[in-house]
Amino acid sequence: MNLNNLASRLDHIEPFHVMELVKKAHALEQQGRHIIHMGIGEPDFTAPPAVVAAATQAMTDRKLQYTAATGIPALREAISAHYLGTYGLQIAPSRIIVTAGASAALLLACATLVDKGAEVLMPDPSYPCNRHFVATFDGTAKMIPCGPEHRFQLSNDMVREHWSARTRGVLLASPSNPTGTSITHAELSEIVASVRERGGFTIVDEIYQGLSYDSEPFSALSLGDDVVVINSFSKYFNMTGWRLGWLVVPEALVQHIEKLAQNLFICPSSIAQHAALACFAPESLSIYAERKAEFQRRRDYIVPALRDLGFKVPVMPDGAFYVYADCSALSDDADKLTIDLLNEAGVVLVPGLDFGPTTAHNYIRLSYATSIENLQEAVARMRRFFAARGK
**Angle at the Cα of 367 from the Cα atoms of 325 and 331, rounded to 5 degrees:** 35
Quickly count: other Cβ atoms within 10 Å of residue 360's Cβ: 18
Distance CA 209, CA 241 (A): 19
Instruction: Report the DSSP beta bridge partners of residue 232.
Output: 245
Pairing of strands 322-326, 347-348: unpaired
Distance CA 65, CA 352 (A): 42
Interhelix angle 128-136/101-113, nearest 10 degrees: 40
Instruction: Report the DSSP beta bridge partners of residue 247.
Output: 97, 230
For residue 258, the model assigns a pLDDT of 98
Instruction: Report the DSSP beta bridge partners of residue 169.
Output: 120, 201
Q: Using the 8-state DSSP alphabet, how is residue 312 labeled?
A: B
Cis upstream peptide for 73 (omega within 30°): no
For residue 6, the model assigns a pLDDT of 80
Distance CA 115, CA 140 (A): 10
Show pLDDT as tens, one digit a residue, over the chain (391 residues). Answer: 666 678 777 777 777 777 788 889 999 999 999 999 999 889 999 999 999 999 999 999 999 999 999 999 999 999 999 999 999 999 999 999 999 999 999 999 999 999 999 999 999 999 999 999 999 999 999 999 999 999 999 999 999 999 999 999 999 999 999 999 999 999 999 999 999 999 999 999 999 999 999 988 899 999 999 999 999 999 999 999 999 999 999 999 999 999 999 999 999 999 999 999 999 999 999 999 999 999 999 999 999 999 999 999 999 999 999 999 999 999 999 999 999 999 999 999 999 998 999 998 999 999 999 999 999 999 999 999 999 988 7
Quickly count: other Cβ atoms within 10 Å of residue 312's Cβ: 16
Q: Are 366 and 305 in contact (CB under 8 A)?
A: no
Quickly count: other Cβ atoms within 10 Å of residue 83's Cβ: 20
CATH 3.90.1150.10 fits 13-46+284-386, yes or no: yes
Q: What is the CATH number of domain 49-281?
A: 3.40.640.10
For residue 18, the model assigns a pLDDT of 78
For residue 2, the model assigns a pLDDT of 62
User: Which sequence spans correspond to the domains of the chain?
Assistant: 13-46+284-386, 49-281
For residue 101, the model assigns a pLDDT of 96
pTM (two decimals):
0.94
Q: Using the 8-state DSSP alphabet, how is residue 319 labeled?
A: B
